[in-house]
Amino acid sequence: MRVGPRLHPGLEAVHDEHHALVAKAASRYAGADLLHRQVRPASLQGPLGVTRQPLLLCLALRVVISPYNTPMQADDKRVGLRSRLREEALVGLFVKLPGFEVIDCAKNAGFDFVVIDREHSALDERTVLDQIAYGRALGLPALVRLPEVDVPVIGRLLDAGAAGVQVSDVTKREQVDTLVAATRFPPEGERGVAPSVRAGHYGRVPVSEYVHAAPDPLLVIQVERALNREELRALLAAPIDVCFIGAVDLSANMGSTGELTPDVRGRITAICD
């Protein structure tokens, strides 16, 4: 039975089509049925008495089906990124500007991932969280660079769906151990379990699947100082995915700011070896 005022005759077919689409979505996601019931009575009268109900139903449908309908589907991008890193050279982009357009540009330019920069930019946390969400919707993995291992911030970024974390100026194994613990669920780590967040698909998947089936975030440590061989070995022995060499900071710490002198090149080669 139809609820609400009668539609203009020319919109009858559109009305029925939208009801059918929402009903189909409801079979895939129980929340759609709730949206369906809430929207149907909320008809608004437009010019000449034509209801705007079909537009409202369309908006409800977009909420249901965008951007991911299959649980853990967005996390497949993270798994693919890690496996690709082991087999090929990938190209990413540092994001230092607010807004969605820069994420759009990175996706359309063909970048494999983005690193949203919270070290050398004025981006606030709300902006970063929104950019992470937009990247997920586009299928573009987004890591976040932080100036230090900040456990509460890391937890919020991962809850929002960040593909990984990059930490600058790592010099001690203890920093890496804290980073690993902050990004792993118990018993391997100390990350808090909150299945109601975006990374947990807002409770759409069982807690056990969220905790055990979700891939671990990518971990990137940034080396910016002339560490000795033992210090480097300790860092690289940790379960990290990438060691990023901050060449400019490294050159500054070696007394030749911005210049890749033979000593700086030699140090970079030693790190890579």
CB burial of residue 272 (10 Å; 0-12, 13-18, 19+)? exposed
In sequence order, the 6+-apart residues with CB closer than 8 A to the CB of 124 are: none
Beta bridge partners of 53: none
Q: Is 8 in the active site?
A: no
Q: Which amino acid is at 118?
A: R
**Which of these is catalytic: 15, 18, 19, 120?**
120
Region of 114 please: left (phi>0), alpha (psi -120 to 50) or beta: beta
In sequence order, the 6+-apart residues with CB closer than 8 A to the CB of 1 are: none
- What whole-number distance in Å separates Cα of residue 146 and Cα of residue 7? 54
- What whole-number distance in Å separates Cα of residue 90 and Cα of residue 87? 9
DSSP 45: B
- What whole-number distance in Å separates Cα of residue 180 and Cα of residue 53? 50
3 state SS for 160-229? CCCCEEEECCCCCHHHHHHHHHHHCCCCCCCCCCCCCCHHHHHHCCCHHHHHHCCCCCEEEEEECCCCCH
Q: Which residues are catalytic?
A: 120
